[in-house]
């Protein structure tokens, strides 16, 4: 194995594969390696549909060898540390590798231990999560008969911020179709203040919540899971004047101890685990104070080391961590690296925070949230022409896009280094 590469990419996920593919389309003679220990590549956006029993889990995965671009060296090892002063990445078992340019695209990792009792709840099957095992989620939803179905998310950034509510809508729709609406309380509890930050989408989702009779609980931050008694303990994150008062004998069986501990009993629990950058990133000189890769918000160039770029879920960008965001970030990173290779500066600062969240609101229904750093609703012009309707509203065509169109584009365009 070589010990030096012109361009070294850490991560064989969406961001890493796309970056390598697009670089090679610009210049197939580039000397590129991807560090990736996994043998399998997953299309995770479909896991929401797997969790609702409407997509085959096996169709969400391919051997890593199939998606690895022709012309790159695949280093099947783990990166464990950096020395950016010496342009070096330390490897778990194959020694140090040096680079001219480094692209950090590691994604993020699940950190269930940040909520007390969550690792045990997941291990024992008391909690389910589309982020970890979507097939178990579907099994849990299918076997649920009555009581509190609680859906929640952590205070950390998470990949696809809309995913915890999508599965709540699909479950509510499924329960209704099974005649369980009257015997079921679907609860969506979030540390956030609103259901969604983009006004046009929020208006649609508030109607969805009303339609299903979902109990929406803003300002609820999960802090502990009591497995034995099947209770989730939440902190109340609202300012004191906005805090709700929970009365005894309410239909959910909620209790409030003092003014900070809210207890919600559950018969079914779906949770997005807390998430963070990989440990070796968090503890490195390349991370910001919050532990994410410290990059410029518009160029994805590292704020201290000009030959280092970071994109995708690991990057400290104040926008949603989605594949759609990666799709817009990659061409800018590629453009900047090509400029640097040509002796110029990285002058492409055009990333506006674009991200998109396909919010499935029921079987055969979806709304598409597309937004920038300022939460402006910015529908993609190409998509707008194709769909010819307001994508902030629910539509069956958007469901078809989610279930069939986006997976096709992912495997056949994005993974092949084509601009989409």
Residues forming the active site: 160, 357
For residue 5, which of 341, 283, 313, 326 has the smallest C-alpha distance?
A: 341
How far apart are the C-alpha atoms of 19 and 331, rounded to whole Å? 8
Which DSSP category does 199 fall into?
A: H
Strand 261-265: give its sheet, edge to edge: 220-226, 231-236, 261-265, 255-257
What whole-number distance in Å separates Cα of residue 240 and Cα of residue 248? 20
Q: Which of 150, 154, 211 is nearest to 185 (CA)?
A: 150
Rounded Cα–Cα distance for residues 28 and 41 (Å): 23
Please state, in angstroms and as integers, the Cα–Cα distance from residue 361 to each residue in 113, 133, 173, 251, following that order: 30, 21, 8, 25
Give the containing element (helix H, strand E) for 101: strand 96-104
Residue whose entry in the numeric block shows the structure tokens 């194959």: 94
- List, in sequence order, the alpha helices (H) in 97-186: 118-123, 134-143, 163-177
CA 169 to CA 155: how far, in whole Å? Answer: 21
The dihedral of CA 124, 125, 128, 129: what is its sign?
Answer: positive
And the tokens for 24?
Answer: 């090679």
Question: Which residues does residue 246 pair with via DSSP β-bridges, in sequence order?
Answer: none
User: How far is the C-alpha of 264 from the C-alpha of 256, rounded, in Å?
Assistant: 9
DSSP state of 247: P
Output phi, psi for 56, to 5 deg: -80, 120
C-alpha distances out from residue 46 to 128, 392, 401, 407, Å: 16, 20, 12, 8
Rounded CA separation 103/66 (Å):
21
């Amino acid at each position: 194995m070589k010990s030096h590469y012109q361009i070294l990419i850490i991560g064989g996920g969406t961001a890493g594969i796309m970056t390598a593919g697009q670089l090679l389309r610009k210049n197939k003679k580039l000397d590129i390696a991807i560090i990736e220990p996994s043998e399998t590549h997953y299309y995770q956006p479909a896991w929401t549909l797997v969790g609702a029993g409407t997509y085959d889990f096996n169709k969400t995965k391919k051997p890593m060898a199939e998606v690895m671009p022709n012309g790159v060296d695949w280093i099947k090892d783990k990166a464990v540390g950096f020395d950016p002063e010496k342009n070096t990445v330390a490897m778990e078992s194959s020694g140090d590798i040096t680079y001219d340019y480094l692209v950090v695209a590691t994604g993020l990792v699940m950190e269930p231990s940040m909520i007390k009792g969550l690792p045990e709840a997941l291990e024992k099957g008391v909690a389910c999560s589309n982020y970890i095992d979507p097939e178990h989620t579907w099994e849990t939803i299918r076997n649920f008969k009555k009581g509190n179905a609680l859906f929640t998310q952590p205070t950390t950034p998470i990949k696809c911020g809309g995913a915890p509510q999508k599965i709540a809508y699909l479950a509510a729709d499924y329960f209704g179709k099974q005649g369980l609406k009257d015997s079921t309380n679907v609860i969506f509890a979030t540390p956030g203040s609103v259901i969604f930050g983009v006004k046009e989408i929020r208006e649609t989702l508030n109607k969805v919540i009303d339609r299903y009779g979902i109990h929406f609980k803003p300002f609820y931050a999960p802090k502990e899971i009591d497995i034995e008694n099947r209770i989730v303990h939440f902190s109340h994150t609202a300012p004191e004047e906005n805090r709700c008062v929970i009365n005894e004998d309410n239909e959910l069986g909620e209790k409030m101890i003092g003014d900070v501990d809210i207890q919600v009993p559950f018969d079914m629990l779906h949770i997005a685990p807390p998430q963070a950058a990989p440990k070796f990133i968090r503890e490195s000189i390349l991370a910001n104070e919050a532990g994410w890769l410290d990059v410029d918000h518009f160029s994805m160039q590292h704020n201290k080391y000009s030959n280092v770029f970071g994109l995708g879920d690991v990057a400290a960008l104040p926008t949603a961590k989605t594949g759609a965001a990666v799709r817009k970030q990659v061409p800018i990173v590629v453009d900047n690296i090509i400029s640097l290779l040509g002796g110029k500066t990285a002058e492409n600062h055009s990333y506006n925070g674009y991200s998109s969240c396909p919010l499935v609101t029921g079987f055969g229904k979806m709304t598409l949230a597309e937004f920038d750093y300022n939460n402006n609703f910015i529908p993609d012009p190409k998509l707008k022409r194709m769909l010819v309707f307001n994508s902030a509203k629910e539509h069956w065509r958007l469901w078809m896009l989610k279930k069939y169109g986006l997976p096709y584009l992912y495997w056949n365009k994005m993974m092949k280094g084509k601009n989409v």
